[in-house]
Structure 1
């Protein structure tokens, strides 16, 4: 009897129906995935689960990134295998790119991509031999045209020097803080600011030089201005020279010699027209015999409601060494010094600077606020009693009635010390950060007065003597493979039995 042929489990129609159903399901799932990815470009959520890679940008940085409307190319000119925190830098800049797609990030490893490295060095004037140990590990911000800025990777971290316990080895640098967000946000501001701002620094009166790289020079101060998108330029008011029309900020960097009356008149006229000025006083300008200020700035500042002391101020409660002091007392209500409340300023030889005491104030008189103070036992060489002395003031005066000014209200910041911003002291405490706070308040860029966070860097170093290192090498190279061979041999013997 013939065997009946098996009947198909499904009819052809049923098979086509199932196949079409599977195809549609896969199609719709893929469509949903594509749509979710498309929407996530503008509405993304990134959850950080590791405390070591967590990079939460500050509100200031987020606002700065979101405000960028032109294309900005960021090039990481890095050796990926170096100890230059490449992964941390790349992760941070990728966060910038996620917030605003107009920021593109590209990595060029100058050791593994020599062709591209040569092109980048030529395009951005980095033509320095790499074997000299310079111009390596750079972050380049390029907004097109001449709007470029190069950030040195070594400047992204703070270091402390430590010595190994045995004392025979050399000291080594240990990273403590990562300041990439501060440097990168400032670089973005520098390359995307449509109109450059110029700070004119008065020269020729014994003050600090912008071009001097020595201990007492102000090249690092000039770099801090550039970091805040302000171009520093020298100023000479002698003869028929006048205040430049494009002067956004006037800086008096610790003059010690006489500023002639006609120069002071030009400065006063600039302020009357809504000018902005940062005055850094120098104790060297005081005449040793008479105590008189040789520059004549005390008379100019008195006109704007500021009283300048004629003696050196010391603070025994906050003394560091010699006459140096750490200032920790600030006006918590003023936005200029509010970011300094948790830190401080390292001053060298300050003079007192406070509000001028007058029996009656005119309605249109300048508004003067004292910002920083010594402790209650502060001493001044021109005052008999210990007290809390003001060391810094901020002055603001609105436009004069019926007078049209080009710049708006007048703003002045006066600090009783200029040495704290010298090349050998500007990195102490929060001195460099103060430059940014002061100039941004003077230029009415209040959105930049928020302090950007510095992130601690955790490094783990295993310190061993030479004998301990040899023992570890023997364990890793012979001990561990030997244990594996021994276990394999035991297993082989057991199976043979």
Structure 2
């Protein structure tokens, strides 16, 4: 009887074990069929595979079918690109990913009008397509290669390139931007022009008001970047006529204290007055830069240009001219600040004269006609340093470029800022900048104390 009971128990345990093993096997088979975006967490440096809220929101509104063709030999696609594609496509039922091997299908490159090792984003409904070479996604430092003969990866731009391409093939954006010339203007940096193009805006070229006889008819937005010379009276009239006709002008003031009466007259016609000297802000400056003129502007939550940002988002502006809003605005003009100083700022001239107050560092001025229709939009940044290459590099984790692009696109109803920056592949080192009391405590006092306690305990045990 005892043996029979043992036999029954053994059979029962064996049956339970078999059932559990079958369940585990079945669960593994089911889980194995799930997409990788549901099974893997993004633990990579710089969150390479995490899609930003901007793209998530854009893809949630996508209502046209888009095909992403991976035009590459099977097995040759970088794992990072393939993994990101899986996550990206999973965000919309309207996106499909197709693999095409140009080696097995030699006519594929001609059919898709793209070279091998690229992604082709296309929309059958609009008939538009865009090719993205892998070299635009995994960006290499070319100078490093020329100097050392080795490839050095610097950026991963999968999300920015894909979102820009999807927006392009599904949209109908004909927004054209021009830059003003012949007033000592500077040239927009590559970072800025790349971001503008990624937002699917057309940066057409330069405009000389004197030589071209005015602003081109297809100009959606005219940009004046750091003008150091004044407008002529005729040029001022041409700009006023352009704005009165519903045009849009974005000005980034140069880092100069020179008087430019006609530029200042244009600002005054939109309710802004330029203060003398540069603005210093003891309450909002970067101490590590050692200058009260290196300001972290306050971002306004009431302006569409900066409403998406929080107090923790940083911007940097150097040698800014202060702007003040007229107590009585011109008729039918509204001013909406988006960047400003703290209440403890002061405009300081070369001779040391200080005028304290709160100054505007960025504002949108809009004029309407008698019928309430838009009759001109003037956007002003009080320092061209806001999108200077040096500043963008120095504050790489800041939102300067995002704010600038928001200011560029905010005046257009059918255009939004979908220019997403690339993610860095640079190695991050745990270095301590500006070490002080706390860093000394954690890097020296505590380790030495722990070591001393250990030696004391060891010596005491030796004596015992």
Note whether the superposition's TM-score is higher than 0.5: yes
The residue that corresponds to 1:368 in the other structure is 335
Structure 1 contact 193–229 (Cα < 8 Å) conserved: no
Deviations 1:455-484 (A, max 9, x none): 9999999xxxxxxxxxxxxxxxxxxxxxxx
How far is the alpha carbon of 1:120 from its aligned partner? 3.4
Aligned residues: CA RMSD: 4.4
Helix, strand or coil at the partner of 2:167: helix
Residue of structure 2 in register with 1:412 after alignment: 378
1:320–1:396 distance in 2 versus 1, CA, 3 Å: farther
Residues 76 and 89 (structure 1), Cα distance of their counterparts in 2 relative to 1, 3 Å cut: farther
- 1:120 counterpart = 2:109: yes
Q: Decide whether the 8 Å contact of 1:92 with 1:181 is kept in 2.
A: no
- Give TM-score, length-normalised by structure 1: 0.62
Gaps of 5+ in 1: 1-43, 127-135, 160-171, 210-216, 462-497
**Aligned residue among 416, 422, 438 for 2:407:** 438
| Post-superposition CA distance 1:156-211 (Å, at most 9, x none) | 6899xxxxxxxxxxxx9898x976444422322223322411011112221122xx
**Superposition pairs for residues 174-185 of structure 1, below 5 Å?**
180-185=158-163
8 Å CA contact retained: 2:195, 2:419:
no
- Report Cα offsets for 1:2-24 as digits up to 9, x if no partner: xxxxxxxxxxxxxxxxxxxxxxx
Listed one character per residue, the Cα deviations across residues 225-281 of structure 1 (whole Å, up to 9, x for unaligned) are: 111121012212114522222211111111112222211211111111222221111
Aligned to 2:31: none
Aligned mates of 1:325, 1:158 — CA distance in 2: 31
Larger Rg: 1
Task: Tell me whether 1:48 sits opposite 2:38 in the alignment.
Answer: yes
Q: Does 1:345 align with 2:315?
A: yes
Distance 1:240 1:186, change over 3 A: closer
Q: Taking structure 1 as reference, are residues 146 and 203 closer, same or farther at Cα in structure 2, changes over 3 Å only?
A: farther
Seen in structure 2, the aligned counterparts of structure 1 residues 59 and 378 have a Cα distance that, compared at 3 Å, is closer
Which TM-score applies when normalising by structure 2? 0.65
| Count of residues in Structure 1 that have an aligned counterpart in Structure 2 | 373
1:187 pairs, out of 165, 182, 196, with 165
Once the two structures are superposed, residues 30-49 of structure 1 have per-residue CA deviations (whole angstroms, 9 ceiling, x without a partner) of xxxxxxxxxxxxxx999835
Aligned to 2:237: 265
Q: Secondary structure at the match of 1:312?
A: strand
Is residue 67–residue 96 contact of structure 2 (8 Å, CA) maintained in 1?
A: yes
Range with greater deviation from structure 2 (181-190 or 242-251) = 181-190
In 1, distance between residues paired with 2:135 and 2:386? 23
Match in the other structure for 1:95: 90
Maintained 8 Å contact 1:282/1:418: yes
- The answer for the alignment partner of 1:381 in structure 2 is 348
Cα pair 1:413 1:442 within 8 Å, conserved? no
What is the alpha-carbon distance in structure 2 between the residues aligned to residue 391 and residue 137 of structure 1?
45
Is the 2:114–2:120 contact (alpha carbons within 8 Å) kept by the matching residues of 1? no
In the TM superposition, what is the alpha-carbon distance from 1:367 to its structure 2 partner?
A: 0.8
2:11 alignment partner in structure 1: none
Q: 2:119 & 2:210 partners in 1: Cα distance?
A: 41
The structure-2 alpha-carbon separation of the partners of 1:242 and 1:322, relative to structure 1 and needing over 3 Å to count, comes to same
Q: Secondary structure at the match of 1:345?
A: coil
User: Could you tell me which residue of structure 2 aligns to residue 329 of structure 1?
Assistant: 298
Pick aligned residue for 2:192 from 218, 221, 227: 221
Which of 231, 245, 248 is 1:276 aligned to?
248
1:229–1:450 distance in 2 versus 1, CA, 3 Å? closer
Distance 1:455 1:123, change over 3 A: closer
Counterpart check, 1:304 vs 2:270? yes
- Which residue matches 1:74? 68
